[in-house]
Structure 1
Amino acid sequence: MRQQTHKRGRFTNKTVAIVAALALGGGGAAIIAANASAHGDNSGSEQNNTVAAKAGTIQCPDVGQQLSDVPSKAQPEVDKNLAELDNQVAKAYQQMNQQQGSNDAVLSKLNDDRSQTLNNIGSAMGGDNSQLQGMADCKWQEVANQAGQDGQQQGGDQQGGQQQGGDQQGGQQQGGDQQGGEGANEVPGNAGGQAGNGPSQDDFVDITKVQPNVQQPPEAQGNGSTGTFSSECGVGDPQLRNSDNVIVAPGVGNGAHHTHDYVGNDKNDAFANNQTFEQGGTSCENQDDKSTYYWPVVRAQDGKDEADANELGGGQEGNVGTILTPKSSKIEFKGNAQSKVTAMPKFLRIITGDAKAFTNGDKNANASWSCTGFEDRQLTDKYPLCPEGSSVTRTFDFQSCWDGQNIDSANHRDHVAFANEDGSCPNGFKAIPQLVNTLTYDVPANTPFAVDGFPEQLHKPITDHDDFINVMSEDLMNKAVDCINSGQKCT
């Protein structure tokens, strides 16, 4: 059975600090890893074969996560300004990467711009700035780095420190022996990302050296719901990819600053609304499922240009390399160990994981990477190196408890929750079908890969995330609920 990835006990505070420190040492606006182009291909920029002495990133308070009380009339204006905050960080990051002024000068301008945008948010909320105090100032986090070689990291000693309970230099990673990448699954020498902003060699681990770490789910009780409902929706149409995010940044083009793959509804862009979804088509075999399921693409760091190499959300923001289309996407809805599930409301929005977990910390991180044949070992802050014949997997366990009232919330999280350790929902929440989405990829041999992300997140695996908007018909949702509550397996 899979690990319960949402449980907050996965990291100790000490480990979180070291994970973050290791990540900060892995790449940034000023770091370019050695031999970043695969197979010696130097068709990209000259930076692919250089090593920078410094690494770092821009770290800003995540305003969107802190907002819990936004008047409904103010929400569109607030969303627009939150998207502008992300845009400001992306521009500042690019300026630093292109050495357009000193870091201090770029940060000063960034913080001035953020102050004005925060004032705009406060004004939209009726002049209430109480939730925005102390959120203007961004910092440049910088550490020494030698492209994965020994070095002191902020918050912990990479050479001898504990990483998820083990020694990174030949010790344990999430309970498994990392061995510095030795053996059949060596960390590719070209790991580092062809854009120079990650991933780093330290972001990869040989899955065969990781010890099984999956926890058993809570045992179903007498009133539990043990059935499953599956929806077959394909693996995504390249023509539908975009860098919008209709949940977090509605009405704002390139609101994600990275590219998403979509299955299900074919009308998903920044300007879609509930009516748009109702009128859209669907890639799902069951045409009554017009839900939208979307996630950041994975790219091979192979030195090749994609169609978006010169576009925002793509190469202009450090998202480069060949986009890998999943070979499978499994969409399954599961029950609750303690109770029957109730129907999701139409247009319910859920985000699992945190696209900014590298700078935000792991509070909302829910990434889960592994390899086929090794599903009993899951990685949160590492990309897996899979043996020959094994495919890379990404699994997303969504929140399975709903507040019974809202289809969304100001920070897009408070209206849903993860179940407790015993499977029960927190007080005030009721069980709904739990979406579990598993993606499988065939990654070219000896080629590092990375998930798309905001430029300042350095393509860290911990930033993986998934998004869902329920647009099932009432009849189909009721069918799913009946199936799950009666212990059946249905499609």
Structure 2
Amino acid sequence: MQWATVAAAALFAHNVAAQNMLRFACSQLVVERTDPIVNPGMKYTPHLHQIVGGNSFNVTMDPQSHDLAGQSTCTSCTFKEDFSNYWTAVMFFKAKNGTYHRVRQVGNGGPQGHLVNKGGLDVYYIPSGKTTAFAKGFRMIAGKAANTDPSKVAKSNICHRCWTATDDNTFIGGAPCSGSDTVDIPADPKCKMIRQTIIFPTCWDGKNLDSPDHQSHVAYGSGSGANGGGSCPSTHPVKLPQIMYELMWNVTEFSDKNLWPTDGSKPFIYSMNLGGSAAHGDYVFGWQGNTLQLAMDKSCNLNKDCAAAGIHAQTPDQYNACTKKQQAPEDVDSWLTELPMGEMAKYA
């Protein structure tokens, strides 16, 4: 069994090494209750998000007038030409006394090497065949924030992995969203970290930069998992780069089961007070000029400078320094008596 695990990891490492893709770190820009896609103009939205990317991120971000690349002065992501915004819900630990604490995030390791994050997440852009980069103003969502039914989630697109190592560089398992990965958030004291993966649709209708549900203008292709997406349906014929988020939630300080709820409730939940079936990711395109298209065309790889596309990797100190004050101010890092949902956060 141990040899099979090692062999699977080695095969995954070989496959990803052979596939040129952008894979880079994004540190936390801000953690706050805003959502310019679903709740534009609203402060203290129904649940908390952690946001990365360009610092022109704001409550409204009107797609007709907001130019991320033109209005941002820095980005918390590795490539200085990428002013896109990427965000997800926040994971909380629920203690047996009913209080909550935000779970911190760390960088990710694996076969392609360690990425340095100050919170935040890792982003992949995976091309497959002729790939058309996103258009200015494009936005989309993967997953549904109100979903309570794991059977309605494709595990090949949104999943969680129990990471039994205490560091991210000891690789656990095989390809993303495969093997023992689950839609539900693992609840096992052996987990020292929980890796969350969100894979976005790769097929576009070629017309609409958004849709009322922020999903209908895109579709998943015939592929499964992090393979570039496969062929597209006739309704959505334009092949996009496959975007994948990876987050490492460090649950080490909460792995003592004596701290866990005894009322049958789950120890780890997202900020909607729901489990893994409600995991979701939001994306607003903001690369400068045609740099992303060139990066796909010129087979730029991982988190390195790519002169052929004109993209430049910042140092961790540079992208870590790009932060933004909360637009919906509240303390989200203390022990809370209630999740920040609707009303202001309440503290223990």
Compute the TM-score of the two structures, normalised by the length of structure 1. 0.45
After superposition, residues 330-479 of structure 1 pair within 5 angstroms as 330-336=122-128, 339-358=129-148, 362=152, 366-372=157-163, 373-375=172-174, 376-385=179-188, 387=190, 390-421=192-223, 423-427=230-234, 428-443=236-251, 444=253, 445-446=255-256, 447=260, 448-453=267-272, 458-479=273-294
Q: Compute the displacement of 1:359 (Å).
A: 6.7
Contact in 1 for aligned 2:185/2:268 (Cα 8 Å):
no
Measure the CA separation in 2 of the matches of 1:303 and 1:268.
36
Q: CA RMSD in A?
A: 3.1
Give the structure 2 partner of residue 188 of structure 1: none
Please report how far the alpha carbon of residue 231 of structure 1 lies from its aligned counterpart in structure 2 after TM superposition.
3.3
**Are 1:301 and 2:90 counterparts?**
no
SS in structure 2 at match of 1:477? helix
**Structure 1 segments unaligned to the other structure (5+ residues):** 1-215, 306-319
User: Shift in Å at residue 391 of structure 1?
Assistant: 1.7
Q: CA deviation at 1:299?
A: 1.1
SS in 2 for 1:357: coil
Please state how far the C-alpha of 1:292 moved relative to its aligned partner: 0.4
**Contact 2:162 2:186 (8 Å CA) reproduced:** no
**Structure 1 CA distance, aligned partners of 2:134 and 2:78?**
20
Structure with a larger share of its residues in helix: 1
Matched length: 245
Native 8 Å contact 1:326 1:440 kept in 2: yes
> Greater CA deviation, 270-279 or 464-473?
270-279
Give the match for residue 321 of structure 1.
100
Q: In 2, are the aligned partners of 1:299 and 1:323 still within 8 Å (CA)? A: yes
Normalised TM-score (structure 2)? 0.62
Aligned-pair CA distance for 1:421: 4.1
Distance in 1 of aligned mates of 2:53 and 2:284: 10
Greater RCO structure (CA 8 Å; 6+ sep): 2
> Which structure 2 residues correspond to residues 175-324 of structure 1 after superposition, within 5 A?
226-234=19-27, 236-237=28-29, 240-255=30-45, 257-274=46-63, 275=66, 277=68, 278-280=70-72, 281-302=74-95, 321-324=100-103
Larger radius of gyration: 1
Q: Deviations over 1:164-202 (max 9, x none)?
A: xxxxxxxxxxxxxxxxxxxxxxxxxxxxxxxxxxxxxxx
Q: Report the equivalent of 2:309.
A: none
Deviation at 1:269, TM superposition (A): 3.5
Q: CA deviation at 1:384?
A: 4.3
**Percent identity of paired positions between Structure 1 and Structure 2:** 23
In structure 2, the CA distance between the partners of 1:384 and 1:434, relative to structure 1 (3 Å rule), is: farther
Whole-angstrom CA distance in 2 between matches of 1:399 and 1:431: 10
Is there any run of 5+ residues in structure 2 with no aligned partner, and where? Answer: 1-10, 108-120, 164-171, 225-229, 261-266, 305-348
Q: Is the 8 A contact 1:353 1:364 kept in 2?
A: no
d(CA) in 2 for partners of 1:335 and 1:386?
A: 37
Q: 2: CA distance between counterparts of 1:241 and 1:271?
A: 16
Asked if structure 2 preserves the Cα contact closer than 8 Å seen for 1:228 and 1:483, the reply is: no
